[in-house]
Amino acid sequence: MRLHRLDGCAPTPLAHYLKALGVLRLVAEQLDPQARGWWEGERFVLASVVEEEQLIQFFLERYEPTPLVSPWNRGSGFYYEGDAALTAIERSTAARFERLRVGVRAARALLDLQVQADETVRAIKAEAKDKSMSRFQREELRRSEDYKRRLAAAERRFKALKADLIRDLRLSWRGPHREWMDVAIVQSDEGLAQYPALLGTGGADGRLDFSSNFFQRLTESFDFASPSGRPCGQARHALMGSLFGIPVQSWVPGLPVGQLDPGAAGGANSSIGPDGDGALNRWDYLFALEGAMVFGAASTRRLQGRSAARAAAPFAVASAPAGYASAGRADADARGEQWMPLWASAVSYAELRRLMAEGRAQIGARSASEPLDLARAVARLGTARGLHAFQRFAYIERNGQSNLAVPVGRFVVHGHARRDLACLDDLDDWLRRVRREARDDRAPSRLVQAERRLTDALLAVTQYPGERARWQRVLLGLAEVEALAVAGTGAKAGPLPRLRPQWAIVADDGSAEHRLALAFALQGERAPDGRRVEGVRSHWLAATGQPPRLITDGQGDRTRCVVQGRRGIDDAIAVVQRRLVEGARSGMRHLPLQAGGGVDSSVHDLGRVLRGEVDLDRCLRLARVLMALDEAACMRQRLRLRLTQAPAGEAPDDAWVAIRLASLPWPLPDGRAPGCDPAIVRRLASGDLASAVALAARRLRVAGIRCPVAAAPGDAVLARRYAAALAFPISRESASHLADRLHPAAPKENPA
């Protein structure tokens, strides 16, 4: 085997990716059936028994072009008399062009009625271009009802005949021209023609017809009048440049490129002056379209109603303006995305066709329909199919022109599947509702931006599932979207669904914010048997029905919703104050907030809160999402033992210890019960630290706990931190240690 490193074939642009596939396909089908190919960095490697010169001579002297005929398109050349490229093909005698001649004849055989209908349309349009008429008369004619009626009727007839033609061609065609049709057009369950984005609209990119330009590039590269079909002029130099990236004068200006190579397509600011022409190596175009034939293997599979064209294309999904820097709201209306597989091991053409034929991605029982779905499926698959990456292309409009196949990133496939990504399964239904709300034409910009940031975070975590910081960005994104839903923007999406305990583990970055957020999220009022009666999530979301169901649609009871979501410290204090009010109404003399899920706050982390070392805004945003955790499952799975423990630090001062002991949700283990006075929290919230500490010390002394602190100096900022820290639950054991710190238990006497 000889290794041919094709530096001219790269994963981007799409034309160069398809070029690599085209070279492998042509060599395997027409020269060396044992040929193999793979990606090595940014180039394609072809392994074959032939030498380099033999490879070059094959393409120049023996290559038999595929008949890429598209008679259903007006720009295909079949609707005009004397099309130069088609005429040259039909008059050729070289054996290497026999397949082209057969394809052209097969196309012409069924076109009589279609051509007549097109001539009728052009004749009507010509009436409004009559030079003998004044400009005013021509405009009047175009606006006349009779002209519009006749033109509309002629166009309808052409479209109806086109649908009939496609059906007849699908029934009668066989051979390579039928394979091209399967790449360009798929048929829905309703029998309607639909078009995979790879080849535009049935093999046409706006006014550019791929087939017509393919034939033109062929007639410019080969002498169709010669008996052997010999190459023309600089064909060899252009071939060397196309295959091996050798810098030769192979680019021809003024040739249309289409969507496959945006950088060579010309347009605004692409050259000197306001606009520039495209430039093209003819071999690049030929190889790219030959490579597109690889995608015909899957074109008739997985047809699903209106999304048939996308479903039938390998690794193709709907577009989503996320995961790349240039994403814009208009990209949501693009023709979709396609992720092109890259592999590092030798693959035969037959194996490549099988890969493309099975080029589907599943999330559970459903097919991937969004880039995020595809990313999740690929990440969970690992390298089971030998793929090491996917090059992501989006068919989107740029510079006000036709759609372009824009490379928008590369997704690396990790060597092993990550089970952590199963967490995202919890969000499936909810994410679909969010997308539906955010991608509505009337969706507010803030919801569109929030959904995009969330999708960016989700795509990033599928690529790097082992990075805890990326999981935290997902949590923050979820919190932002739910907050907007509560405010009425995207309310139909509803609150976050129940989440599995694994979410707390994958997002555990070892920070105090995460530990405190988890303890805050799982706390609530407890029944005597320890069951959580009411969590704190009801202070964020309204409830309706019995038993209460949390909602975001603006209905329901909002009397308990005290959280504003602006400042974490304000929200924490508001929750404590609301719980004290509710406790007083029920005749309770304590703060009804107990740790849940087996997770409580460390006194070392609470000391960090008091010193201002904790970002409470971030902490409460994380807690908003963690409130959706399944608390019972957290207990069963002993979540606490699987989390990062708080490192030792400076403990809270005695003044706050007194406050905390005077605000417990239950009596101390030794039976002492200081109870709770709401006035303490009110004074802390107002910034009066000294009198709050004095009240707490008085209550402790009444309960039999000697408190060495009668008052404490401090400003309003510290006082509010004292109040906010009460929102984070501690364990009975921690409370007992704090009580012993203020009032150490008398040592037991040894019996004589």
565 in the same domain as 431 = no
- In one-letter notation, the amino acid at residue 647 is P
Question: Does residue 727 carry a pLDDT above 50?
Answer: yes
- Which two three-digit tokens encode residue 325? 């820097």
374 vs 601: CA distance, rounded Å = 39
Q: Is residue 313 a contact partner of residue 198, using CB atoms and an 8 Å limit?
A: yes
What's the pLDDT at 629?
A: 95
- Which two three-digit tokens encode residue 380? 């969970």
Q: Percentage of the chain surpassing pLDDT 70?
A: 89
273 vs 314: CA distance, rounded Å = 40
Q: Is residue 231 a contact partner of residue 275, using CB atoms and an 8 Å limit?
A: no
570 in the same domain as 434 = no
Helix (H, G, I), strand (E, B) or coil at 227: coil
- Residue 231 within any structural domain of the chain: no
CA atoms within 13 A on the CB side of 435: 18
Q: Is the dihedral of CA 305, 309, 313, 318 positive or negative?
A: negative
| Helices marked H in 72-209 | 84-91, 98-108, 112-127, 135-143, 145-172, 176-184
Helix (H, G, I), strand (E, B) or coil at 93: coil
545 in the same domain as 485 = no
- Which two three-digit tokens encode residue 470? 């990326």
- Residue 207 within any structural domain of the chain: no
- In one-letter notation, the amino acid at residue 72 is W
574 vs 62: CA distance, rounded Å = 81
pLDDT in tens, 191-247: 778 888 899 889 998 888 999 999 999 999 999 999 999 999 889 999 999 999 988
634 in the same domain as 718 = yes
646 in the same domain as 736 = yes
682 in the same domain as 546 = yes
What's the pLDDT at 274?
A: 47
What's the pLDDT at 300?
A: 38
556 in the same domain as 453 = no
Q: H or E stretch including 6?
A: strand 2-6
Q: How confident is the model at residue 415 (pLDDT cuts 50, 70, 90)?
A: confident
- Which two three-digit tokens encode residue 731? 């364990």
Give pTM, 2 decimals: 0.85
Mark which of 493, 510, 529 sits at the end of a domain.
493
What's the pLDDT at 312?
A: 62
CA 140 to chain centre: 50
Alpha-carbon torsion angle 272, 277, 281, 284, nearest 10: 120
539 in the same domain as 431 = no
More confident residue, 278 or 674: 674
Q: Is residue 257 a contact partner of residue 403, using CB atoms and an 8 Å limit?
A: no
236 vs 224: CA distance, rounded Å = 17
What's the pLDDT at 275?
A: 47
Range of the domain at 449: 426-493
Mean pLDDT of 692-705: 91
240 vs 170: CA distance, rounded Å = 38
Out of 90-94, 114-118, 289-293, 556-560, pick the least confident.
556-560
**Nearest C-alpha neighbor of 21 from the set 448, 342, 264, 401:** 342
Q: How confident is the model at residue 301 (pLDDT cuts 50, 70, 90)?
A: very low
- Residue 564 within any structural domain of the chain: yes
Mean pLDDT of 521-534: 76
575 in the same domain as 718 = yes
Mark which of 461, 493, 525 sits at the end of a domain.
493
Q: How confident is the model at residue 398 (pLDDT cuts 50, 70, 90)?
A: low
478 vs 469: CA distance, rounded Å = 14
Question: Does residue 19 carry a pLDDT above 90?
Answer: yes
Helix (H, G, I), strand (E, B) or coil at 627: coil
